[in-house]
Amino acid sequence: MEIKIIHEEKDFIAVEKPAGVLVHKTRTRALDGNRTEEKTLVNLILEKYPEVKSVGDFKGKETNELERYGIVHRLDRETSGVIIIARTQKFFDILKKQFQNHEIKKEYMALVKGKLKGNGIINKPIGLRSGTTKHSVNARNMKMVKDAITEYEVIEAFPDETLIRVIPKTGRTHQIRVHFASIGHPVIGDKLYGQRKGTSGLSRQFLHAAAIEFIKADGKRTRIESELPVELSLFLDGLRKVR
């Protein structure tokens, strides 16, 4: 697998993460029950940009302990789109501070179930359900509850779906997916928070990180965009034909 480089500078690279690829290293169980390791976005980046291995937040002296080299933000496995990877420690720290100060602007394209009208804001705290790995806006039986705000605007309407631009104002885990599921409009193809069987005919969820804005080391604000993947564009074309 090759990762598309959208933009490259001495301080960072912007890459196009495909759906189905993990950002960070993780361990999963194979069918025989043994633990196996899969190739991640970080693995693929290190093959071309080995200097990234010395960049990031590390525990102690072992720089391979976290294996999130150059990564400040991430995307879910089944979400595609643009990710920024720092090539120097200086810019990693600059980017991390911008995320902490909410100076980063991220835009997503999502197709959700049902009809949404106009623009809107979802302001609901998100927490982790006790004893599970699933996030929720249901206040009962939750831990680590955090405020979460998501803005959206309607781009195109279909009989049973709505294409929207989403701007998360906070960066909680699964925030977009959880928020839209909580108002009865789950992301199409989302098997965790949406309909698990017969979701859409898509092999992935319809959620794409379309743009990110941040301040470079020279103080200039920049915007980097990522085009909608072919499989999502074709899916929309199919909806338009039967509309």
Q: Which residues belong to the active site? A: 76
Q: Is the pLDDT of residue 17 over 60?
A: yes
Residues of the chain with CATH 3.30.2350.10: 1-102, 104-243
Question: Residue 211, SS3?
Answer: strand
The percent of residues in the chain predicted with pLDDT above 90, rounded, is: 70
Report, in angstroms and rounded to the nearest whole number, the Rg of the chain calculated over CA atoms: 18
Strand partners, 151: 121, 167
Q: Does domain 1-102 have CATH number 3.40.640.10?
A: no
The pTM of the full predicted model, rounded to 2 decimals, is 0.89
Domain 104-243 part of CATH 3.30.2350.10? yes
Residue, of 158 and 3, whose pLDDT is higher = 158
Among 41-50, 66-75, 79-88, 131-140, where is mean pLDDT lowest? 131-140
Residue type for 9, please?
A: E
The model's pLDDT over 31-72, given as tens digits with 9 standing for 90+, comes to 344 445 678 899 899 999 999 999 988 655 444 445 678 999
Q: How many CA atoms lie within 13 A of 217 on its CB side?
A: 12
Task: Encode pLDDT of 187-243 as tens digits.
Answer: 999 999 987 655 567 889 999 999 999 999 999 999 999 999 999 999 999 999 987
CB 187 within 8 A of CB 179: no
Q: Which residues pair with 128 in a beta bridge?
A: 135, 143
Residue 83 has pLDDT above 70, yes or no: yes
Which are the contacts of 126, defined by CB distance < 8 A and separation ≥ 6? 135, 136, 137, 145, 146, 148, 172, 173, 174, 175, 178, 179
Please tell me the least confidently modeled range out of 28-32, 108-112, 140-144: 28-32
More confident residue, 63 or 152: 152
Confidence class for position 122, pLDDT limits 50, 70, 90: very high
Q: Tell me the two tokens of residue 78.
A: 């089944």
Backbone angles phi, psi at 179, to 5 degrees: -65, -45
Alpha carbons 28 and 36: distance in angstroms, whole number:
6
The average confidence (pLDDT) of the chain is 88
